[in-house]
Structure 1
Amino acid sequence: MVAFGKKLRQSQIQEWQGYYINYKLMKKKVKRYTQQIQVGTQDRHNVLKDFSRLLDSQIEKIVLFLLEQQGLLASRLSNLGEQYDVLIQHPDEAKVTELQEAYRAVGRDLLRLLFFVEMNAIGLRKILKKFDKRFGYKFADYYVKTRANHPYSQLQQVFKHVGIGAVVGAISRNLADLQDLQDNHGSYVSIYDQPAYSHPVYSQIHQDPVVHSIRAAVERLSNSTSFLHFLGTHAFTMQDELPTPSEEQDDDQRYHFMSLLLNLANTFLYMVNTYIIVPTADNYSLTLGAAATVCGVVIGSMAVAQVFSSVYFSAWSNRSYMKPLVFSSIVLLVGNTLYALAYDLDSIAVLLIGRLFCGLGSARAVNRRYISDCVPLKLRMQASAGFVSASALGMAVGPALACLFQTDFKIYKFTFNQETLPGWIMALAWLVYLLWLSISFREPPDRTKESVVPQESTSGQFVNVSVDNGFTQPLLINSETKQEDEDEDGDGDEDCDDAEEDSDKIQKPVNSIVSAYRLLTPSVKVQLLIYFMLKYAMEILLAESSVITGYYFIWSTSSVAIFLACLGLTVLPVNIIVGSYISNIFEERQVLLASEIMVCIGIVLSFHILIPYTVPQYVGSALITFVSAEVLEGVNLSLLSRVMSSRLSRGTYNGGLLSTEAGTLARVIADGTITLSGYLGESKLLNTTLVPALFICISSIVATCFTYNSLY
């Protein structure tokens, strides 16, 4: 693997060489500081002061050049605008085409500038991480905090590329207007008259390779989110590379719409299977002679098995997709049948075994992996959003179905009532799904084996911006923003101390959970803690809802089911609001911290202290907790994907598996807490289960504050 310093030199735009970050100089400085501190000729305070001054001067050089280039682009656009005004008065098709090409030329130069910004942003991130690793400081935290939030911040110009949006808007609008002028012979329809992507002319202009390239580059640089992007991050379909043209062609060959639909159907049915028993699990436990709070074990046994199933399904998906999905369906069919038969067998053991089987059939690791590996990049965000939507819909449909099963009859020796019907219905659903799967699923050709190490371009260099032939190449073949092992940065010069690491070691996926854990930085650990916390809080709320509402409010099964279904239905509307508006106004780390605080408030409001416990208090606090946790999940996984090592984007022990295991473990512990707390009596169940939830929530807030300035 070519080191970053060498890549930076090889990929620089020649005429701009003097304006790039001097990564080599700063590496030498870091080496010299290390030697000086060791021999005692320099103290740490002066090192921090000197390195801060060096970084400030480097950033100022970059920003002043960036502003100068923006001014040149703005001047060219202004001149083109004058030509456009003349053309409006005297339309000429030949001149329209000529002016369109002139705007595209400005767009191509803007792409070069975006490439310049991205290279420098990567260099800044890497040198800050290298400094922290060498000296054991939190220098990056200090530097970003003091510079990024200052009213005269120049760091914001690099990471937020202030002002470029106006240039992008001018190019996009004028190209759209010229296309409209050409197509409609002078009848003007502004792109601002309708929302983005709904306007037909705007949709056409985004097919222009220049505008398409600019839009992709700006989104990647700014991490801007729309509803689709925000929702898609919930799926956490990690990838460490931007694909090459050949890889995109391979994606197109592997893609099969019906197979993707079956994959999403599996996701939906599994979530229905998870939550369909929640309203009746306490009554089922009582019927079989156990305490109502044993519902925690009944619900949680599925999560216990999922801790293990996630690993072997993730490994299996390295070789096949259809086989694990078939196995999953069969195991779930058996598990739900056992769950239903436990009533007639009068056996709590059979009930628990049935739920364990359901957990062993969890193929969510396969569902995520299929989207990452087999869906083309241009459709991957939509597919990821579909994955999340299917999960949310399943969460709402499960309890809603439970409230419909108000019947009681027998066929031969089998009982069909509100306790057993969830098992029978899901067994039938998985049987139908299995038949559909065997008929319609297509295994993608040439499955990528885990042992195959993905290669860079033949030169190992960054790909230059290209907009020829309507195809957009990525600005970078391999994103360097998330590599935390910074020793790879040696630039190959004799005076640089960092040895080059073996490329296979850097690119090869980790092969054990221990190796994966060693790659977790403090920021990643905090994000996993947050994910654990939100899943714990949600599981406590959902799993004990039937017991709590039965004890305090004497709710029927139908009432509990409707309540849970309504909670589930809030997922998509809330994500629309956050993804379309809030995340475009506030930084993700701000939304993250605010959501954590709201979850904490929801938990505090749930406690039963002195005054009588009322329905408004319970429903209101539950709504605050659940909605805040849903918002938190989106921004948490989005930040996690950025701070997690690129080596965790592939293979069995990938980032998706780690987040799944964290969430599943949270559910297991939460369900166990409910059952253990039941021994104290139902009157103390609520407060007893909320105490650990509150403790974990406060801990995550404190941890977030300590790593807040590293989330950039």
Structure 2
Amino acid sequence: MVAFGKKFKESQIQEWQGCYIDYKLMKKKVNQYVRQIEESSENQTYVLKDFSRILDKQIEKLVLFLLEQQGNLATRLSHLGERQNVDTQQQTSLDVPELQRAYRDVGQDLLRLLVFVEMNAIGMRKILKKFDKRFGCQFTNYYVKTRANHPYSQLKQVFKHVGISAVAGTISRNLADLQHYQGQYVSIYDQPSLSIQDPVVENIKAAVDRLSTSTNYLQYLGKHALIMSEELPTSAEDYAINEKYHIMSLLLNLANTFLYMVNSYIIVPTADNYSVSLGAAATICGTVIGSMAFGQIFSSVYFSAWSNKSYIRPLIFSSIVLLIGNTMYALAYDLNSIYILLIGRIFCGLGSARAVNRRYISDCVPLKIRMKASAGFVSASALGMACGPALAGILQIRFTIFKITFNEVTLPGWIMAFAWLVYLLWLCISFREPSFEDTENSVRSSKTGSTKSGDLENGSITQSLLSLPDMKHHDEDEGEVQDSLEPKQQNEEERDCDISEESEEIQKPVNSVVSAYKLLTPSVKVQLLIYFMLKYAMEILLAESSVITSYYFVWSSSNVAVFLACLGLTVLPVNIFVGSYISNIFEERQVLLASQILVLLGIVLSFQIVTPYTIPQYVCSALITFVFAEVLEGVNLSLLSRVMSSRLSRGTYNAGLLSTEAGTLARVIADGTITLAGYWGMSRLLNTTLLPSLMICISCIAATFYTYNSLY
């Protein structure tokens, strides 16, 4: 296993080697500080001050070089522009292909510079992470905030990309202008959406987006979906590689996500009426709704394992099982069997292929659009959650064909069975199975490939950083080669320390429950507990809504459907607001704690303390609980993606599966709670089901305080 420091050095562009941050020096300083503090020869204040000074000098060196290179690129662009203008004014023929090639050469050098900046930015983040871990402090937060917000900030030069964007804009405009002479002129300023789609320009844009460290909406939703993107570039040309993926296959995965969420929530407004029509109590709706989640507990595991070998086969199996399950759900009315109803819903849960959908995006979608695909995954889920109840509200008709009844309680099953049949046919016709051999070879080469500086010297960036994805997992730099002049004792101490830390990051896919459990640090456990809590609270609210509103307010199924659809429609606006605004102002752990407190407030307001129980109290408390549970879900999963071990991003028992299992288990227990609480009578149902939510939420807040300092 090769150390980060060694890979960092080997991957450097040879003529720029003296301009990279000195990662090796900073690593030695961290180890030196540890020894000094242990020996009480220096206090912590001195360490923080000295390390800040070293970082400032390293960033200054990087920024000055960056400005110099930007100036060189600007000079080259200026000369090309003058040549182009002279030829135009003198009405001489332009050598368009030659000029285009020259502009693209500048673009390639700009892309090369972006990879250089990204490598340094990652090295800086890793040394800050190492410092925080070794000293148990929050130095990173202090350093970034004080430097990024200062009027003379040099960090802004690295991360705001003003100069880089200007160079990219000049290249784009001139390439578009050259197309004018071919009769295809479009102004990038008048119609930016129709601007030139040159491969080099697109690669630069992707690289700039990747380099950005600010939280934007797509990054937020990507983390919300727990679909991990590689932290490090493999090479500058990786942005240009047209990875083998099929856009229709991606759309089919998103369609599967959407339909499954519709399938989950389309029965919520009518589940109580369906239960009553079959001779059961209205509160059995909790079991009816929860039986789908019960099936999903098992399906998530085998679908996650199945996706190691195929994507289309598990999707076909999922569609068939869902087709059967929805048909059984619809036929239960004419068969007058609550058992057929429950078995049908369990089948629907056994057909949950969300693990496959998430895995396809993670493994098969090109890096430069993976965040957009991740945002599409979350958006499809949110849209399905809103459309399900809304569709149920429309299906208020009744007719019979061949003694088969179609009414408000059976139509959701028939509609979804038909939808899955159409989807199955579309899947068989249009889905393209990716080559798993190519995928494995790509992953293997990214972990074992070596770099030759000569490739970069010759202007080829094909292999410049092929081995760098492995760097993100090797935070503690096992076995870095030391200078022969260093004391032997110091080498041994550093090597022993690095090996012990590196052993935590051995990169093997997590394919067993035991391996996954060993990687669950206290911070990760708290995040999973919070996820359990918010899913429990949301399921209690949604699953018992038809029963509660019917008992207290005499709402019809249509009223309940409209109410649930309105709640579902808040998901995307809330995520946009949090991802684009709140997360850029406050720390995620601050938002996490505040959201839990507000969820607690919503739960408290939901209790029936005085009589009568009013519609404004119910609606307001439900809105507070649901909205802030949504905020909490996004921030929670975003934090989970940071505090979890990098090993949990891959394998069968990955973080996505663990969070899904935690949420699904919460839904099962919540729905079971509704059914059990029904035995105490309808008048006690609301308070009885809210009490566990209250206790779990209080426990989560206490656990968050306990692990607060580690949540960054």
Please indicate the TM-score interval, normalised by the length of the shorter structure: 0.7 to 0.9
Determine the C-alpha separation between the residues in 1 that align with 2:455 and 2:528: 36
Partner of 1:326: 316
Alignment of structure 1 residues 142-541 onto 2, 5 Å: 143-150=139-146, 164-179=160-175, 181-183=177-179, 198=193, 200-201=194-195, 203-204=196-197, 207=198, 209=200, 211-224=201-214, 226-240=216-230, 242=233, 252-253=243-244, 255-411=245-401, 414-447=404-437, 454-456=444-446, 459-461=449-451, 477-479=467-469, 483=473, 486-493=475-482, 495=491, 496-498=494-496, 506-541=506-541
Deviates more, 1:286-295 or 1:491-500: 491-500
Q: Deviations over 1:309-363 (max 9, x none)?
A: 1001111111222222222223223322332333344433332222222111111
Q: Does residue 662 of structure 2 align to residue 666 of structure 1? A: no
Determine the C-alpha separation between the residues in 1 that align with 2:29 and 2:151: 20
SS in 1 for 2:406: strand
In the TM superposition, what is the alpha-carbon distance from 1:102 to its structure 2 partner?
A: 8.8
Query: Is contact 2:260–2:352 with CA below 8 Å preserved after alignment?
Result: yes
SS in 1 for 2:506: helix
Determine the C-alpha separation between the residues in 1 that align with 2:74 and 2:344: 70
Determine the C-alpha separation between the residues in 1 that align with 2:464 and 2:176: 29
Q: Does residue 627 of structure 2 align to residue 627 of structure 1? A: yes
Determine the C-alpha separation between the residues in 2 that align with 1:319 and 1:585: 43
Q: Deviations over 1:429-483 (max 9, x none)?
A: 3334334434443433345688997233665359999799998888674346753
In the TM superposition, what is the alpha-carbon distance from 1:369 to its structure 2 partner?
A: 1.6
Q: RMSD in angstroms over aligned alpha carbons?
A: 4.5
Deviates more, 1:663-672 or 1:226-235: 226-235
Query: Is contact 1:399–1:565 with CA below 8 Å preserved after alignment?
Result: yes
What amino acid is aligned across from residue 491 of structure 1 in structure 2?
E
Determine the C-alpha separation between the residues in 1 that align with 2:327 and 2:348: 10
Determine the C-alpha separation between the residues in 1 that align with 2:164 and 2:42: 42
Deviates more, 1:169-178 or 1:244-253: 244-253
Determine the C-alpha separation between the residues in 2 that align with 1:467 and 1:284: 72
CA distance change for structure 1 residues 10 and 450 in 2, over 3 Å: closer, same or farther? closer
CA distance change for structure 1 residues 89 and 411 in 2, over 3 Å: closer, same or farther? closer
SS in 2 for 1:679: helix
Query: Is contact 1:11–1:464 with CA below 8 Å preserved after alignment?
Result: no
Determine the C-alpha separation between the residues in 2 that align with 1:504 and 1:588: 25
Alignment of structure 1 residues 37-52 onto 2, 5 Å: 42-43=39-40, 46=42, 48-52=44-48
| Alignment TM-score, normalising by the size of structure 1 | 0.82
Deviates more, 1:576-585 or 1:411-420: 576-585
SS in 2 for 1:72: helix
In the TM superposition, what is the alpha-carbon distance from 1:303 to its structure 2 partner?
A: 0.9
What amino acid is aligned across from residue 55 of structure 1 in structure 2?
F
What amino acid is aligned across from residue 399 of structure 1 in structure 2?
P
Query: Is contact 2:318–2:351 with CA below 8 Å preserved after alignment?
Result: yes
Deviates more, 1:325-334 or 1:678-687: 678-687
Q: Does residue 677 of structure 2 align to residue 677 of structure 1? A: yes
In the TM superposition, what is the alpha-carbon distance from 1:668 to its structure 2 partner?
A: 1.9
What amino acid is aligned across from residue 571 of structure 2 in structure 1?
V
Query: Is contact 2:33–2:47 with CA below 8 Å preserved after alignment?
Result: no
Determine the C-alpha separation between the residues in 2 that align with 1:523 and 1:631: 19
Determine the C-alpha separation between the residues in 2 that align with 1:597 and 1:686: 21
Query: Is contact 1:208–1:470 with CA below 8 Å preserved after alignment?
Result: no
Q: Deviations over 1:537-566 (max 9, x none)?
A: 322221111112112211001111122122
Partner of 2:61: 65
Query: Is contact 1:111–1:465 with CA below 8 Å preserved after alignment?
Result: no
SS in 1 for 2:394: coil
In the TM superposition, what is the alpha-carbon distance from 1:168 to its structure 2 partner?
A: 2.2
Query: Is contact 2:76–2:106 with CA below 8 Å preserved after alignment?
Result: no
Determine the C-alpha separation between the residues in 2 that align with 1:380 and 1:235: 11
Partner of 2:52: 56
Percentage identity across aligned positions? 63
Determine the C-alpha separation between the residues in 2 that align with 1:417 and 1:352: 18
What amino acid is aligned across from residue 654 of structure 1 in structure 2?
N
CA distance change for structure 1 residues 607 and 79 in 2, over 3 Å: closer, same or farther? farther
What amino acid is aligned across from residue 557 of structure 1 in structure 2?
S
Partner of 2:550: 550
Query: Is contact 1:115–1:465 with CA below 8 Å preserved after alignment?
Result: no
Query: Is contact 1:462–1:477 with CA below 8 Å preserved after alignment?
Result: no
CA distance change for structure 1 residues 237 and 469 in 2, over 3 Å: closer, same or farther? farther
Deviates more, 1:174-183 or 1:262-271: 174-183
In the TM superposition, what is the alpha-carbon distance from 1:272 to its structure 2 partner?
A: 1.6
Partner of 2:136: 138
Determine the C-alpha separation between the residues in 2 that align with 1:34 and 1:503: 20
Q: Deviations over 1:679-710 (max 9, x none)?
A: 34333333333344344445545655666666
CA distance change for structure 1 residues 30 and 181 in 2, over 3 Å: closer, same or farther? closer
What amino acid is aligned across from residue 506 of structure 1 in structure 2?
I
Deviates more, 1:459-468 or 1:260-269: 459-468
Query: Is contact 1:402–1:422 with CA below 8 Å preserved after alignment?
Result: yes
In the TM superposition, what is the alpha-carbon distance from 1:657 to its structure 2 partner?
A: 1.2
Q: Deviations over 1:61-112 (max 9, x none)?
A: 1222234235535766887898799899976587999999998787666656
Query: Is contact 1:19–1:62 with CA below 8 Å preserved after alignment?
Result: no
Query: Is contact 1:463–1:475 with CA below 8 Å preserved after alignment?
Result: no
In the TM superposition, what is the alpha-carbon distance from 1:158 to its structure 2 partner?
A: 7.7
Q: Deviations over 1:347-401 (max 9, x none)?
A: 3333222222211111111122222233333443443333333322322222122
Q: Which runs of 5+ in 1 are unaligned?
A: none
Determine the C-alpha separation between the residues in 1 that align with 2:448 and 2:696: 48
In the TM superposition, what is the alpha-carbon distance from 1:167 to its structure 2 partner?
A: 0.7
Q: How many aligned residue pairs are there?
A: 695
CA distance change for structure 1 residues 317 and 602 in 2, over 3 Å: closer, same or farther? same
Determine the C-alpha separation between the residues in 1 that align with 2:637 and 2:454: 30
CA distance change for structure 1 residues 127 and 245 in 2, over 3 Å: closer, same or farther? closer
Q: Which runs of 5+ in 2 are unaligned?
A: 483-487
Q: Deviations over 1:209-230 (max 9, x none)?
A: 2x44443333223244554444
What amino acid is aligned across from residue 547 of structure 1 in structure 2?
V
